[in-house]
Amino acid sequence: MQINSDFEVMIKLMIIGDSSVGKTNFIFQFTEGRFSTFHVATVGFDYKTRIIKLPIAKKKVKLQIWDTAGQERYMALNKNLFQKVQGIILMYDLTNRDSFENLNGWLNLVTQNVSNKTIMLVGNKLDLSDEKRIVTETEGRVIAQNNKILFSEASGASGENVDKVFTDISEKIYSSIMEEKNDKNDNIIISKNENGEKKRCC
């Protein structure tokens, strides 16, 4: 955790998924409140930041959100980032069956490289669901339940549920941070030395 006068906790996230599922615009919608219909593929990776207050934890957190390329040639770069973040948003396009079918490959990549990370599955482009939806909400929920990860559907274009996605995963991460901190404190054994003074031992 990093402490700053403007925020109390730093949380680092990354978004992964196939190219063109809307990762970059999703981040821009959250950090800058804007959406562009002009698509430029992310080269390598980049990040944006935003400070929010978690409604449950009542803490002000700074989110550092890494945008990653979906192309295979950048996969090695993405693997390095896995070690540096606390949470991963795995995104697919609910109007694109291929992006959904490829989720198993992305999940395998995550499990091969990291453990104990908070993961959220997000079906993007909810604004197109009425006319162009191909992947049902139930299908997405089943994948999330089978892998014991968070789930949401959202729209980077309209902004629907975008803030909720980042808030929900951040609340989960913060809760995990506090649980880990409490577990460490519980493992500290307090005893007395020969002079009757208390000492701590891990």
Specify if 3 maps to a domain.
no
Mean pLDDT of all residues in 122-142: 97
Specify if 4 maps to a domain.
no
Specify if 53 maps to a domain.
yes
Structural domains counted in the chain: 1
Q: Mean pLDDT, the chain, as a whole number?
A: 85
Specify if 181 maps to a domain.
yes
- Cα separation, 39 vs 101, whole angstroms: 22
pLDDT in tens, 70-111: 554 455 556 677 888 999 999 999 999 999 999 999 999 888
Specify if 189 maps to a domain.
yes
Residue 135: give its domain's CATH number.
Answer: 3.40.50.300
The pTM of the full predicted model, rounded to 2 decimals, is 0.83
Specify if 70 maps to a domain.
yes
Question: At a CB cut-off of 8 Å and minimum separation 6, what does 42 contact?
Answer: 23, 24, 67, 68, 69, 70
Specify if 179 maps to a domain.
yes
Specify if 155 maps to a domain.
yes
